[in-house]
Amino acid sequence: MTDSELLEVTITHNLRDATEVNELYHRQWIALDWDRKGPDPSSYTGRGKTDVLLFNTMQQQGAAVIAAYKKATADNPSRRLVGLVEAGIEFKDMNGLLCLPLSAVLVVDSSRTFLGNLAPRQCTVQPCGNRARGRLADLVRGLASPRSVGLLHNQDVEWLVTNYLIVTGMCKCVWSGGRSYEDIDHAGWMADGRELLAQTTISPTLVRKKAERLLKLASRDRVLYLFGPEASESQCLEGITYQAIEKLIPRLVQEAGGRWLVSRMLPTLLGSNGEAALQFG
């Protein structure tokens, strides 16, 4: 694994003992609790073995980690530690827990930007490279991430589109599509009396699927739009107007309100070297 391919991992600490969770948070360690049998994967079975194998890979090759400590951050559930497991670092022990220390640690608010998309899914610890796509690795190394729709929180994209529809005058009013249809994000009324139905996605793999569903709602008095990554426009289908999310931002920042919105959705995070890791002008 090269430095540019640093393993990206997300972990949530759901230990029964709140004191242990607090101690891990303040030490800036991550930990596993599978009967506390040490680092040998052969001592475990099932999910425990999978997790311990992953911890061994992280210990040997290094990893970028975003870690949640629920009982230690009850005042702000969105608070996370982002840090680096250095390759070759020794395992630590705390009350029998299998631990790895983090370095270059940042305290971040995961409710802002792509960090909110990196919660563990179906398990406590897992690789998240398919969602982080190198951005978490860049963050812990203090590198600037290129401006992209992938840096947006997935829920914020819908609000970005809502504001765009209103600011540009495309719609005179906008309604949450999910309240009336299963397969759209926005329902808007246009000045000419037609209804605008729109879908949004930041995932380059979902554009075709969303377009197919959107087309099922086509009618003469409706206009269909799909907002997604610029590179995925070719996946859209005839009968739908495709707009790249990247192109919405320059239009919004022409006005003070739009600049505030983009700044709120795409804030600057500081990298481990003290320089801005996510910069948006």
Encode pLDDT of 52-107 as tens digits: 999 999 999 999 999 999 889 988 888 999 999 999 999 999 999 999 999 999 99
- Comparing 53-57, 234-238, 266-270, the range with the smallest average pLDDT is 266-270
Give yes or no: residues 66 and 22 share one domain.
Answer: yes
Contact between 165 and 174 under an 8 Å Cβ cutoff? The reply is yes
Residue 265, pLDDT score: 76
Residue 22 lies in a domain: yes
Which residue has 């590179």 as its token pair? 231
% pLDDT > 70, the chain: 90
Closest of 50, 51, 166, 66 to residue 110, by C-alpha? 66
Residue 148: band (very low, low, confident or very high) from pLDDT cuts 50, 70, 90: low
Residues spanned by the domain of 138: 3-147
Residue 31: band (very low, low, confident or very high) from pLDDT cuts 50, 70, 90: very high
Residue 114 lies in a domain: yes
Give yes or no: residues 140 and 29 share one domain.
Answer: yes
Give yes or no: residues 143 and 159 share one domain.
Answer: no
Indicate the length of the chain as a whole number. Answer: 281
Residue 91, pLDDT score: 98
Give yes or no: residues 171 and 110 share one domain.
Answer: no
Q: How many CA atoms lie within 13 A of 146 on its CB side?
A: 4
Give yes or no: residues 129 and 159 share one domain.
Answer: no
Give yes or no: residues 10 and 134 share one domain.
Answer: yes
Q: Is 269 helix (H, G, I), strand (E, B) or coil?
A: coil
Domain count, the chain: 2
The CA distance from 27 to 216, in Å, is 53
Give yes or no: residues 55 and 121 share one domain.
Answer: yes
Give yes or no: residues 18 and 126 share one domain.
Answer: yes
Residue 123: band (very low, low, confident or very high) from pLDDT cuts 50, 70, 90: confident
**3-class SS letters over 227-262:** EECHHHHHHCCCCCEEEEHHHHHHHHCCCHHHHHHH
Residue 277 lies in a domain: no
The CA distance from 9 to 234, in Å, is 31
Q: Is the pTM of this model over 0.85?
A: no
Give yes or no: residues 125 and 189 share one domain.
Answer: no
